[in-house]
Amino acid sequence: MLRSRIEVAIFVTRRRRADVLIVHRSPPQGSYWHVIAGGVEPGEELADAARRELREETGLVAEVGRGERAVSYTYPLTEESPERRARYDPSVVDVAVSCFQCEAPDGWEPELDWEHDDYRWCAADEAIGLLFWPEPREVLQELAAR
């Protein structure tokens, strides 16, 4: 099944946003630091997709967003590798991402799925420096400023 042009990104924090979770994509999906993210399935609401991706990729069952203003961004699919572009309908030229935030319990640690091979809890500034894509860096800067 081809992916939708709509995705979600989840910014997981703990200790009142002092720590930010970043995850490392495992090859062959790339090899870079990112936040929890994934596609929205047909008929799925954005918040439901965010909760599903969070559970699938980390094992955390949590509310997302908590009524805060949603942040979103769009990225061009044309800048992705041919392998990644092949996952989408050829008519898709950009992907819209809706971002969510959730607070994890202080002692919680993620149980990573096959998509990730490492994770880190770090301060927002350190996470911003490690994140590969510019758009999640910008969202995290906005989140840290709140």
What is the residue-wise DSSP string for 92-126? --EEEEEEEEEEPPTT------TTEEEEEEE-HHH
CA distance 51 to 30: 23
pLDDT over 60 at 69, yes or no: no
Find out whether 74 and 95 touch, Cβ atoms under 8 Å: yes
pTM attached to this predicted model: 0.91
Class of domain 6-145: alpha beta
pLDDT over 80 at 47, yes or no: yes
Percent of the chain exceeding pLDDT 70 equals 97
Q: Where are the domains of the chain?
A: 6-145
Q: Quickly state the pLDDT bin for 36 (edges 50, 70, 90).
A: very high
